Each structure stands twice: as C-alpha cells, then as structure tokens.
A and B are shown apart, each in its own frame.
Chain A
Amino acid sequence: MSVGIPSDEVAEDYKNSLEDLTANSRYEISNLTVIARENTEHAMAISRVLENHIKSVPPDRKLPALYVLDSVVKNVGTPYTLFLGRNLFNTFMGAYLLVNQQTRRKLDEMLKTWKEPVPGSQETRPVFPHDTTRQIETALLKARTSALQQQQQHQFKAQQEMTARGRPMPTLNTQWRNTPTPPQANGAYYPPPPQGYSQRSVSNGNFQSPSAYPPPSAPRHHPPQPDHQQSYQQPYPQPPGYPQHSLPPQNLDSLKRDIADLIGKTKAAFASSPYDDTLRIRLQALLDLQNILNTRQLPSHEIQAIRDQVAQLSGNSHPPSVPPPYVPPPLVPQQQPPPRQSPAQGPTPQPGDLQALLSSRNLADIIAKAQRSTSTPPATQTPYSQPQQVPTSYPPVSSGPGTDLMAMLRAQGLLRPNVNIPTNGPLGYVPPRSATNTPPVLPASLARPPLINDVEITSASLKLPRPHLISTLYEARPNQCSTCGRRFFATEDGREKKARHLDWHFRTNQRLADSAKRGQSRSWYVDELEWIKSRDNPEDTPLTDASSAAAQVAFAASLAAADPKKKHIPAPADPTLANQPCPICQEKFATVWNDEEQEFVWMDAIKLGNRVYHASCHAEIKKDGGSTPLRTSTPDSVLGKRKSPSTWFSEINANNAKAFKP
C-alpha cells in the first residue's frame, strides 16, 4: 500500500493519529494496530513515534498509548517487538512513575502478559524476551521494597521526633502514622476527572474499566458461553488448564463488532457508488455473516476462519474509507497567515456565506468567522441589514471583527429577549447570557453613585451594616462575565474591558483545546527582578509564555556559535508557532526528542524575534550579504507580535467609520 511513501511521512501521520487517542477506545487502538501492520517497513519510525508519544503525553493518556504498544506487539509482533523492546524499560518505567495507582495495576497486568507467549498463536516464545521484562520487574520490586522501608523509616522517625520535641501531636496524627499507607493513597492521589472532562473523552465507565480494552489476545482460556456477563467476572484470569481451542466470548464480541464496523463502512461506500456490484455482494455477505454469528454457535475453527476473512476485509477496506485520525492535517495557507489562531482554517466567508454565518449554531463560531473576515469589512456589515436576523437598530459600529461584535451582542443584543443567541460552542466556550441575573443596566451617570464611605477603623464603626457599600460590589458593576463572574462597569470603558476580557476567555478556550494534545507543565518561578517588573494583566497581554520565550532566546543565543546543522531550539509549545514553516524554504520543522536536553527540539533551527528559521537557511542568506532582510519581508503573524488590543480596537473603529461613509 504505502510503498514509496517516506518513513517520516508515515511517522507523522501515525503521530497525528496517536494524538487523537485520548481514551481507551477499542476502535482507535485496533485502527492504530492495523496501520502499524500495514506499514511494517516503517516499523522503526512508527516505534519511535509511539515511544515518544508515550513519553510526552499527560499521565492520563499514557495508558491508552501503552495499550497501542501492547496491541501492536501482540498482534503484529516482529519487527515491532524488536524496536519497542529496545527501549521498553524506559518507556514502561517512565509511564509507570507518572500514573496513578489504578493505572499502575493495569500496567502490572500488561507486564504479566508480556512474559508469556501470545495465547492461541503457534509462537512459543514470550511476547518480549525474558531479559527485557525481568529488568522491569526487578526495578518495580526494588521500588516497592524501598517505598515500604521508607514508610517504616518515616514512621520510626516520626515517633522519634515526637518524643524528642516533647510536643505531643494530636492523636489522629499518630493513628495515621501507624497505618501502613496514608489514607489518601488512592483517593486523592489523582482526582478523578470532573464531569466536564469525562464528556470530552469517552464515557467514564469505559475509561476506567480494566476490560474496556483488554490486550486482545490475553484471555483466550474460556469456552464460549452464551452468557457473557457470567463468563467475564474475572477480566484477567490465568487458569492454565483450560483448553485453548475455543474462542472467548469477548473475541466473539470483538469479531461481531468488527463485522458491524465493516458493514457500516461498506454501506457508506455502497451509498456513494450504488452500481458497484462487488460492494453489494460484499455487503450482502457481511449481513449474512452477522446474522449467522448472532443466531448460531459456531465451532472455534470456523470462527477463526471468519475472523481471518474479516481481518483481511477490514484491512482492504481501510484505504478507501479513510478513518478520521488518518486525515492529513490541513495545510495552513502560507501566503497569508491567519490574523490569529482560529479553530479551523476555512476559507474567508464571502457574502454568499453570510446565511451560513448567521445560521451558525454557536456564537464562538460566528466570532471566529467574523475574525477571519477582517479583510473584507463590507461583507460583515451585511448581516446587520437583514432585518429578521438582527434588529436594525444597531449602531454602525457593530460591524467588524469579533471583539467588537461580542461587545455589541452583549451590551445590547443580548438584553433583547427576542434575539435568539444559541449557547455552548464546541470549544467549551460558554457564551455569556449575562445581564439576565443582574439588575438592569444603569445609565452611565449612575454607574458610580456618590458613595458615602464612612467606615473608620474602629470596632464600633466596623460593626454597622452598610448595604449601600455592599452594593458597590454588585450593582455598581452590573455587567458580569457569565464564565468567571468578573464584573464590569456599564460604561463605554467597562464594555470595552469586558470585550477584551471575553476575548481572553475565547482565546484561552481555543488554546485549551490545542494544548490538550500536548502535555502542559508548570513553569519555573521568575526571579526577584523579573517579578518586580512583571505586571499582572493576563487579559491585556497576549498568551505567550514570557519566561519560556526568554529561555528559548537565551538558548538560541548560547548555541549561536555552533554548526548550523547542530543548532536546535526547544520545540515551541505554542501551536501557532509550531505550525509555522521556515520563512525561507517554507518547509516545516521536524520535532525530535533530544536526550541531552531532555526535551523535544527542532534541529537545525534558530529563533530570531518571533520567527523560527532553519539555521542552515538563515546562514545561507546571511552569506549572500543581506543583513536582516527577513524581518521585513514577512509580517510577524505570531500571537506575541499581535497589536495590543487597544490599538487593534481603534483601528477597527476607524475602519468601520470609513466603511459606513456613503
């Protein structure tokens, strides 16, 4: 299939698919296994991608990633066992260290299965060589012993301390210290995801259940039984005595599922080309097969045969019906970078798209579209002249990009009950339904009522209730953000501040969606001088990480003298920057793991200002004589270089004013 495609392209695709794996989705994992099987000639690249992925994902995604590894080595075997076995100790232990107790238990189970041959196969050797697994087991045993010792030591020391200090501690404390494990060991270690979170992944139960994705071939010891529940009381039994010639119901189940998937796919294909006879026949055959499986019990060799057939079919049917994670990432238009991060790089909406724009089911979407359409101001004005959609009484200022649009919607449109603004965008952005829970907007002149603050710092004065002062905390700022509760004055200035604030929420939510793919970690604290000079105004400053940006610059500088090919910078965490190609050769940067720096880096790269160049390209240009011709040739489109919101605002207003002149 993929002969001729370079390894790194396959690896890149694989990496992208892995990034979409957020939970124990059986479908996705088997999909990834199939891809690995079809690309054994790129096994080395895929193995490396998989290892890096396991290393870099947040702890809660390590388990699904390890299940992919497990599934690949068991179902495909060599050469993956070879490549993955090499670093298995580091891969496994690295993950083991960071995950919670529950996940660890599953990892232990997984490790156990690696010491045995794949059940049901002719292969008699274990999944991984004993040397590899033993190394891990020894390390785990050592860690457990030392943890136990530590605890005893701790306990002993605590008792000593108590006697030494002569400071009796509360009894509860002693009680705790005498228990073998701290009471919170399981519960509070890693707070279970809140509901919002589990909605994002798969259903909670699926995620937590040990059998949601069992290593596919592990428990092949059960005779088929009609009652699945009963036979599955122990997800991981290891009874050696069972005959191996029958399939467990789970495999039967998975087979049924595979067939159901295939039917779905074939139906879809059939729908698009209804005159294809082979498809029709295949669909018929599959439906019959499903029927048979559902109604009769088949001997195991027949099931195996069906299984092979189905595996072959699903293997064949993959390329035409490309599974979602396999879609190559949409290319960012390189000539004209988007003015800001937008959730999707769709085309700029033309006047014809306006209906779509208005009927869009969520505000965030509208805003995103409106933002992208800054280059075509007349287009965005049209919506406001369509009477049945939005009241015409809008002042002309209301056209233009998002922030302003939002300000208008919020300040006026949303107060009108007949304007129907849908809620809850896909990005988790909750468009404010403000004003419904606050008193009506006060006229600007009343926003700061003359307050008599007569509180003195005396006990008597502090005891008097002063409701009029309390109201300054509420009614004086009636314009409330419905996401976080921050309040703003009902003045022009307050509205502008709130628009900026909402813009901040919006950007943050966009970035949250992006950053979920890539691990996030705590930054180092700044030093005294930097802290004194810092300003706490997150909503006014762009969301770039100042300290890491500074570190990157310093890093690049320290490497300036080195050979350009060896120059590297930490791979930027900012998704916008990470997708930018080198401005000189227009090629993207390759992210590789650098062991020395303990970080993902871009090799052959330097950062100048807010753009990253291939070090070699840059050296080349410099040799030709141009001192810094690059800075001016392409405008800086990185978030960090964005105009400050206030100038942005005034410009927009100026544009609007122009546009509305007859």
Chain B
Amino acid sequence: MSLPGLELSAPVETTVEPTVQELKEGSEWRFEVAFGTQVEVKLLSGNAELFGTELVQKQPYTFTGTKAAIYTWHGCQLEVDGECQSEYIAEETPMISYANLHFALEKLREEASTIGRDGPRVLVVGPENAGKTSLVKLLTAYATRSGRQPIAINLDTKEGMLSIPGTLSAAAFSSIIDVEEGWGSSPTNGPSPVPVKLPLAYYMGLANPEDKTLVYKPIMTRLALSALNRLQDDGESRGTGCIIDTPGGISHGKGGYEIIQHVVSEFSVSVVVVLGSERLYSDMLRRFNGQKTSAGETIAVIKLDKSGGCVDRDEAYLQQIRQAQIREYFFGDAKSTLSPHTQQIDFSSTSIYRLADSSTDLTSLLPGDAVEESMAPSIFDKVEPSPQMQNAIIAIMHADPSDPQETIRDASVIGFIYIAEVDEKRKKLKILAPLSGKLPNKAMIWGLWPEGITDIVG
C-alpha cells in the first residue's frame, strides 16, 4: 500500500554495495566510520578480532563514530556494508608483541596463583594517540578469553570507561567485551544483550590530571585502594591482577612523571608498559627498573611499538566522542534504548559544590608536596543554582551534603544528572536524571569537565 508523500520524504539512500575484504593471516583491516553514518561488518569466514574480542561468524556488527581495526591471526573474509571514512588493509602490525605481552602476563598470573599472590598490576603509559586504550582493551579481552577476570582501570579523564568523561573508573571483566560500543554498558534496570559491567567511578571534573592534582591524586588513591581490596576479596580477580590505562598528558614533564610515580606506588604496579616513546621508556627505566613493589616483586619496564594504525584524533572528534558518551549514559546505545527521566527539583533540595577554578590551584606551580598541606586551598565552593549551570553535567556523590569537602571529593559517584533549565524565579531546576525516582539527597559536584552539552535536549 502506497502512502502519499512517502517517496518524497524518504531519505535518499546512497546504496553502496557490500564489499568483501580478504585478509591474509596476521593482517588487519583498519577503518574509520564517521558519526552519523553506519557501517555493518560481517565475518564471512575464518576468525577475526577487534581489539582482542573475537567476532562471531555471520553476525552483523554495526559501527558508528569509530576508528578501529579488525585483526586476524589465521586469515578471514569480511563483508563490509556501508561507507567508511577511510579504510585499508595493513600487513604490518605489532600484534605479535602485544599478544606475547599477554602470554608473559599469563605466566606471571600462573605463578601468582600458585603462590597465592596478587596477579600482575600492569600500567600502560605513552603519549596521546599511541593506542594505550586499545592495548588495555586487548589485554583485558585476551585475559577474559583465557578464562580470567582482570580489573580494567581507567585513569584518563578525557574519555570515560563505562562512565562519562571526567571520571576515573574500574570494573572487573569476566564476560565478553562489547565489540560495537567501546567498553560496553554499565548496569541498567533491564536486560542487556551483552553482559553489563559494573563500574566504580570517581569524579575528577577536569580534563587534565595536572590541572588539579589536589583532586586527582586523592581520588586515584581511593580508586587504587578499592581496586586492590577487590583483588584481595575476589578470588576470580586475584590471580589475574589489573590493567591500568592512563592519560597521554602525563607522559612528559615533571608533573606528569610525578603522577606516574604516584600511580606506580598506589597500585603497587609490577609491570610498566611504555607505548611508542623511546624517551619515556628510558625515563621509566631510570625511575623504576629493578625497583621492588610493596609486595617485594621486581618492577619490570617494557617498551612496545606503537601500531601504525594509530591515528591522531583531532579535538573535534574527541569532543564528539565525549558527547556520545554522555548521551549514551542517559539514552543508551543502539542495542538498548534507555529512557532518562526529566523532573523538577527545588533549589533548596540541592547541595552543589563547584570545583574551584583551576587557576586558583597554585600548588602545581610550586615545588614540593608539602606546600599543599600548608596552603590548604579550598577544593570546592558551595554554590546556589544559577543560570550558568544550564546544560551542565553534575555528579551525585556517595557522600552526604554536610560531609567535609575532602570526604565529598574522595567519595565514589552515584550517577550524573544534566541541568536542562534553571528557573530562578520559581527556584526550580529542570533536570534529566538517568532513572525515575527521587534524587538521592547527596552532595553534588559541578565540574568543569566534560563541557556542557547543548544539544542533548535543548
């Protein structure tokens, strides 16, 4: 039955015939898909994996806003439907050394399990766009495929792991990692076709750790404490250990190295992987090689090559990724649509702490850690809702509004809300919360990062 006008309004579809890519063994198909377009990839034969997670034959995988690579150990045939921004097959990859790193870690895990020690704590450092997150994902996926349960930790506030940007998070991975959507989804109140992963999140509210070490270091310490406690407590994870992703920004400069030092001591890191930087490698060797961890293991420092597939991601793309992550938090992904909930709350029912502006954080300019204590600059300013708050993302913390500022800072995150509208006359806020129900009466942090997002609802 034809509907009048239908033909005219139907989007003009540029029909691209599905193409078939033949991959020889040990090669990979690198592809970029723009936001707003979709590419469907099907494994026709052979086997293939995306950042370590195996693809299933004949199952369609849909990608959007992605830059990734599908690698094959034994050769495969891929059917690609849709238009990629760019795509090519590369035969030279550092996959052999990446996989070998996994097997080396497996050996350490075997040893750890037999003598009842914690598995290796692996730190991945390197400059921006060196493929750190991809390597962490690969190592996590391989560990999961080997029947283990690694704890993946994200210390990069520029991108979120199972959370929005601006957070540090950790999660145990015992089940398959989502192929299509980054790290997958955190729990919802319904079923999910790919098992959800339960994150523990802390809120930094800034893009660079060095912007406010006064916040970054303490919350990282808390995250380390929780993660190591989980290792102790969870028999499945204990022998596997954890894999830590870091921001590229700390891979140079004195402040950055201090943060790396802090991570190494707090997580009791036993393997430092340097990706794609000779200089960083030699600096790391100097600092850590041969040092002992708190448990008496010798720290190993190893260098890996950057993959030729790593592309520089420009700011515009990174911003799209950030916005996509925020949207995904509220609205879900293509596989499961979520319904966030709008509601109005009184000004009086909020207790919002604004992260004091980074320019007032003078400590990073001053030498030594001792200064921090004596100057004791305030961490937050308590603020009333104001029109500037419109379109901001606010974190709700596992801390009471009356708690001291340090407690609020160190608390983990309950969730995020989006401020859709500030009505100063009626003293009401219109907010978007991930789920219905009364907002928890907890302290809230209004960070400076990620930037407000204007087109989520307005």
Contacts and interface: CB of A to CB of B under 8 A. Distances in A.
A279 to B, nearest CB: 25
Nearest to A474: B47
Point out which of A154, A169, A522 has the most chain B C-beta atoms below 10 A from its C-beta: A522
Interface in A158-197: 164, 169-170, 172-173, 175-176, 181-197
B331 A190 contact: yes
B195 A539 contact: yes
B269 to A, nearest CB: 13
B107 to A, nearest CB: 5
B339 A59 contact: yes
Interface stretch (B83-91, B322-330, B360-368): B322-330
Interface string B89-119: 0000000110111011011001000000000
A539 to B, nearest CB: 7
B314 A173 contact: yes
Given A172-B315, A522-B434, A528-B398, A211 B57 contact: no
Contact of B340 (A172, A521, A537): A521
Interface in B154-173: 163, 170-173
A551 B189 CA distance: 12
A535 interface: yes
B455 A181 contact: yes
Contact of A522 (B7, B64, B415, B420): B415
A96 B382 CA distance: 32
A465 interface: yes
Contact of B59 (A188, A190, A483): A483
B175 A598 contact: no
Interface string A600-615: 1000000000000000
Given A170-B315, A462-B101, A515-B190, A206 B440 contact: no
A109 B411 CA distance: 47
A137 B406 CA distance: 45
Contacts of B201: 525
A599 B201 CA distance: 26
B316 A172 contact: yes
A536 B412 CA distance: 19
Contact of A461 (B104, B226, B333): B104
B174 A537 contact: yes
Contact of A536 (B174, B191, B390): B174
B17 interface: no
Contact of B333 (A191, A534, A535): A191
A600 B234 CA distance: 37
Given A470-B99, A508-B191, A522-B188, A229 B38 contact: no
A547 B187 contact: yes
Nearest to A158: B451
Interface stretch (A231-239, A330-338, A400-408): A231-239
A455 interface: yes
B149 interface: yes
B327 A189 contact: yes
Contact of B200 (A56, A528, A597): A528
Contacts of A515: 190-191
B321 to A, nearest CB: 10
B315 A486 contact: no
Nearest to A465: B96
A485 B104 contact: no
B435 A485 contact: no
Contacts of A164: 359
A356 interface: no
A147 B454 contact: yes
B437 A598 contact: yes
B375 interface: no
Contacts of A533: 233
A532 B175 CA distance: 18
Interface in A178-223: 181-197, 205-206, 208-212
Contact of B10 (A182, A205, A520): A205
Given A462-B104, A548-B189, A524 B440 contact: yes
Contacts of A188: 35-36, 64-65, 320, 323-324, 327
Contacts of B259: none
Contacts, number: 346
Given A457-B271, A523-B435, A597-B437, A233 B8 contact: yes
Contact of B435 (A211, A257, A521, A538): A521
Given A487-B145, A520-B332, A532-B230, A543 B191 contact: yes
B307 to A, nearest CB: 14
Contacts of B57: 437, 482
A658 interface: no
A512 B190 CA distance: 8
A129 B6 CA distance: 32
A463 B96 contact: yes
Contact of A473 (B65, B146, B229): B146
B183 to A, nearest CB: 13
A150 B390 contact: yes
Contacts of A535: 172, 234, 236
Contacts of B53: 485
A146 B458 contact: yes
Given A150-B391, A184-B36, A469-B99, A97 B457 contact: yes
Given A170-B315, A172-B315, A176-B319, A455 B100 contact: yes
Given A211-B5, A463-B97, A523 B146 contact: no
A483 B391 contact: no
B15 interface: no
Given A188-B36, A534-B198, A521 B434 contact: yes
A520 B337 contact: yes
B432 to A, nearest CB: 7
A71 interface: no
A531 to B, nearest CB: 4
B337 A59 contact: yes
A249 interface: yes
Interface of B: 1-11, 35-38, 40, 45, 47, 53-60, 62, 64-65, 73-74, 96-97, 99-101, 103-104, 106-107, 110, 142, 145-146, 149, 163, 170-176, 186-201, 222, 226, 229-230, 233-234, 236, 271, 300, 302-304, 314-316, 319-320, 323-324, 327, 329-343, 359, 390-391, 396, 398, 412-415, 420-421, 432, 434-438, 440, 451-452, 454-455, 457-458
28 contacts: A58-B337, A58-B339, A98-B457, A154-B452, A164-B359, A183-B35, A187-B36, A188-B64, A208-B9, A210-B9, A211-B4, A211-B5, A228-B2, A229-B7, A229-B8, A250-B4, A459-B303, A472-B146, A473-B73, A485-B176, A487-B54, A509-B193, A522-B329, A524-B440, A538-B175, A545-B187, A545-B189, A597-B438
Interface of A: 56-60, 94, 97-98, 143, 146-147, 150-151, 154, 164, 169-170, 172-173, 175-176, 181-197, 205-206, 208-212, 228-229, 231-233, 235, 249-250, 253, 257, 430, 437, 453, 455-459, 461-466, 469-470, 472-474, 477, 480-487, 504, 507-509, 511-512, 515, 518-528, 531-539, 543, 545, 547-548, 551, 570, 573, 596-600
> Lowest 5 CB-CB distances: which A-B pairs, in order?
A187-B36, A519-B339, A520-B190, A173-B315, A511-B191
